[in-house]
Structure 1
Amino acid sequence: MSGYASLSLWHATAGDDDLTPRAPLAGDADHDVAIVGAGLTGLWTAYYLRRADPTLRVVVLEQEIAGFGASGRNGGWCSALFPTSWSRLVQAGGEDGALRQHRAMQETVREVGRVVAREGIEAGFHQGGTVTLARTSVQLERLAADVATAHARGLGEDDERLLDAAEASAVLAADGVVGGTFTPHCAAVHPARLVRGLARVVEAAGVHLVEQTRVLRIAPGRVETEHGTVRAAHVIRATEGFTPSLEGHARDVVPVYSLMVATEPLDEATWDRIGLSDRPTFTDGRHLIIYGQRTADGRLAFGGRGAPYHFGSRVHPSYDAEPRVFADLERTLRQLLPQLGDESSGVRFSHRWGGPLAIARDWAASVGLDRSTGLGWAGGYVGDGVSTTNLAGRTLADLVTGADSDLVHLPWVQHRSPRWEPEPLRWLGINAGLRAMTLADAEEARTGRSSRLARLMAPLTGGH
């Protein structure tokens, strides 16, 4: 396999895909639609464009290989989670619009499942839902309030329900469980197999996919690359955490790193003690986000925030590894699941990796198309992109082709986030926010009460 196999567990277990790069752009070219970025946003957009109109000439341009970024390295949660706060959605589309946005996300999980089945993409897709554990009384109170709020907004018991300690432990036998919540609207998936399989499907459908081609700048009607210029009536930016590297887009989003670890495959006796028999994804009620899944090949893949933001929105391969954060993640998972044993004699971890995700200044994901220029965009998923990219791709396809669908009237469509502050304010603020979430968890552990610091930070971190 190529050196790309070292990017993550997912790339290393991509099956019979040797990750060999496709040819770069051969020179100047003309297309109807040019998509910058061969992650899930770009590939889903290409997929639905060709289904809507097989005559469209679509090109996808990628600097590395399809699935190089977050699309191939994430936690494998294809979920109905949506990063934009309820209040912002209500401002844009009213209570009905906000509820339609969340219902659209639920349907998107099912749509991804339909596509992988229809196209024969072997990505280990299984919709087992998500369990969120409460391991303190404060966390349980917060989760109970979240469920009550969801129900008041029009979601029902079938969408999200509260679990008592026995019910939650029956799903995942973690240490110190006092309750939890469960939603069926999530599937576990092997992300690299999903994005790489999708790349093969769109290529077979007639999309021109070029790799090893660095895009220098985008403008109305053209994409300038190191190998030539692509002219197109519509240009779609689908670059997520790598967006700041494009000329003129340095402050559109910030790249924040999320890191992951994975165990060796566990034996059935260990799984009998742990649970996760239906492969639900899992997290708990702490403020500093953690996330995990039982993989199709019997591992625990587990990740979380905590890595620093790098000055100037820099993205570099060396930032994919933070030994301190990796050690914290492994320790956290062993504390959560004592069944794994201790570091010296217990289950071993086989993989460590990371990568950047994108956060807009108002923590609001968006998708849109400027009809006057032909420039389109999607992103700012804050780590909830495995499913949201599919919704973005369907929406962009409708916007480009002019279809007057329900999707183009959702409240996130045509939203414009403000730009981030210049440095050093950006560096100071983001890293202070990351540190605050760690301190908020420590505050709750010490006081047994809901963190005042977390409440103060909520408006700055996309709080609902």
Structure 2
Amino acid sequence: MDVKKNGDVSFWYADIGGVPGYRPPLPGDIEVDVCIVGAGFTGLWTAYYLKEAEPGLSIAVVEKEFAGFGASGRNGGWCSGEFGWSREKYLSSGTREGIIEWERQLRSTVAEVRRVTEKEGIDCDYLLTDCLTYAQSPAQMERLREGYEEAMAWQVPTSRLELIDGPEAAARIRVDKAQGALVRHDVARVQPAKLVRGLAEAVERRGVAIYERTAVTGIEKGRVTTDRGSVKAKRIVRATEGFTHGIPGNEREWIPMNSAIIVTEPVPDDLWREIGWQGSQLLADASHAYCYAQRTREGRIAMGGRGVPYRFGSKTDVRGQTQPETIQALKDILYRMLPQTRGLKLDHAWCGVLGVPRDWCATVGLDPRTGIGWAGGYVGLGVSTSNFSGQTLADLVLDRHTERTSLPWVNRRPRKWEVEPFRWLGVHGMYWLYHKADRNEASTGGRATSRLATLANALTGR
């Protein structure tokens, strides 16, 4: 496949000089106040807010690879503060007012990430901008309109969302056949590897111990066992998101859904003028098998999407290497949206996994009986949501009853995924239907949403 580098975790690490070296592993049996499993955004934000609240706490973070190895160092760099789950599903565990308040607090995470990065001196290419989701057909435009109207019904401020028509959308970015766009204001672009590595260094400065190359083999009340020794702790946080299935007893909790990204060579100035993407807005589309993109600091296009959605038996990739057919699919998406880019070369491609619960809705919580907490199931919205998870988990670990700990996602327990081969068949069937729905809409001029997409959602409860 026509790409210079495939895998090696992600382009974001190549951008900062390569994959980092390892911190020392767990030196043997230890005892601390809090043990956090996983050194990604969720675990590190939790450690950060715990230390802000109680500087004297002893905290150990154990990580199988290195801090930021998983989705935290591989994602598309969207810090959106977006509520991307079914609001109606949370009515079973909360009130309408609670969901509105939770959504308001999620939006505040964009500013909170900025506050922390400025305070800690973390240079992560943070840039406040807009996110534009484009419609390339009447059916897609109708879906954007429905999403906008739903958000307004849930009291999302009009200052946050804006629906624009085709000419105005094309004036911002010359997406092919643009019918219009949904604009989310006050979102941020980040370089995720810079953010997660900077956050790891910030918690270390506060006395948090991060042990890498330490594989967790079990979590139980008061103890985390690893291949390097055990950690005794009164409170334990499972912050493993897309890798949760690898911990005994959690095999069907969340499945590792694949997402992949390609990055182009630096785009020449004359091509940027032709594309019209003069700002650094985030870019997405309203197809059923959606995509996400950003214009990077040094002027590349990073385009992401699902590719092969799920590997049988919850298997994961090898250090980010993705399949040739996934790379081709992402190139096709890039060319469909921005045909001006057809002459560009690809410098890097990679993939990673994100955690998906059976009901496709994020949760955070702590079992007071065992002292074990968790957070995840972000379904691709983890950069900002993990920050709020960290704030909430800090409250739960410290037994603080706050406005955050009473929100509808706290201590919510969706049912587990089916055993194989049913979950593989279900997920692949869903995405086959999404792709088929997109093709059907394209072949009919996109006049109406394909019923196959509705069937896909019903199939997996999305």
What amino acid maps onto 1:8 in structure 2? S
- 2:381 alignment counterpart: 384
Most deviating of 97-106 and 251-260: 97-106
**Separation of aligned partners in 2, 1:41 and 1:357:** 12
- The answer (yes or no) to whether the contact 1:85–1:462 under 8 Å persists in 2 is no
What amino acid maps onto 1:65 in structure 2? F
**Separation of aligned partners in 1, 2:363 and 2:125:** 28
- 2:316 alignment counterpart: 315
- The CA deviation string for residues 112-164 of structure 1, in whole angstroms up to 9 with x for no partner, is 11111111111001121200111101111111111111112111321111101
- 2:251 alignment counterpart: 250
- The answer (yes or no) to whether the contact 1:292–1:302 under 8 Å persists in 2 is yes
- 2:11 alignment counterpart: 9
- The answer (yes or no) to whether the contact 2:430–2:457 under 8 Å persists in 1 is no
Normalising to structure 1: TM-score of the pair? 0.95
CA separation of 1:354/1:4 partners in 2, compared to 1, >3 Å: closer, same or farther? closer
Return structure 1 stretches of 4+ with deviation > 3 angstroms. Answer: 459-463
Gaps of 5+ in 2: none
**Separation of aligned partners in 1, 2:55 and 2:6:** 32
Deviation at 1:454, TM superposition (A): 1.0
- 1:456 alignment counterpart: 455
- 2:427 alignment counterpart: 430
Deviation at 1:462, TM superposition (A): 5.4
CA separation of 1:414/1:460 partners in 2, compared to 1, >3 Å: closer, same or farther? farther
1:111 is paired with a residue of what secondary structure?
helix
CA separation of 1:210/1:318 partners in 2, compared to 1, >3 Å: closer, same or farther? closer
Aligned runs of 1:37-436 on 2, under 5 Å? 37-317=38-318, 320-340=321-341, 342=342, 346-436=343-433
> Taking every aligned residue pair, what percent have the same amino acid on both sides?
44
- The answer (yes or no) to whether the contact 1:259–1:320 under 8 Å persists in 2 is no
Deviation at 1:318, TM superposition (A): 7.3
Normalising to structure 2: TM-score of the pair? 0.96
**Separation of aligned partners in 2, 1:252 and 1:42:** 18
CA separation of 1:125/1:423 partners in 2, compared to 1, >3 Å: closer, same or farther? same
Deviation at 1:100, TM superposition (A): 1.2
- The two structures, once aligned, show a CA RMSD in angstroms of 1.7
Deviation at 1:32, TM superposition (A): 0.3
1:50 is paired with a residue of what secondary structure?
helix
- The answer (yes or no) to whether the contact 1:306–1:434 under 8 Å persists in 2 is no
- The answer (yes or no) to whether the contact 2:317–2:352 under 8 Å persists in 1 is no
Deviation at 1:5, TM superposition (A): 8.7
CA separation of 1:409/1:183 partners in 2, compared to 1, >3 Å: closer, same or farther? same
**Separation of aligned partners in 2, 1:4 and 1:273:** 28
**Separation of aligned partners in 2, 1:398 and 1:113:** 21
- The CA deviation string for residues 364-386 of structure 1, in whole angstroms up to 9 with x for no partner, is 11000011110000011111101
**Separation of aligned partners in 1, 2:9 and 2:124:** 18
Deviation at 1:80, TM superposition (A): 2.0
What amino acid maps onto 1:7 in structure 2? V
1:32 and 2:33 aligned: yes
Deviation at 1:315, TM superposition (A): 1.7
What amino acid maps onto 1:391 in structure 2? F
Deviation at 1:18, TM superposition (A): 6.0
CA separation of 1:319/1:47 partners in 2, compared to 1, >3 Å: closer, same or farther? closer
Deviation at 1:319, TM superposition (A): 7.2
Deviation at 1:460, TM superposition (A): 4.4
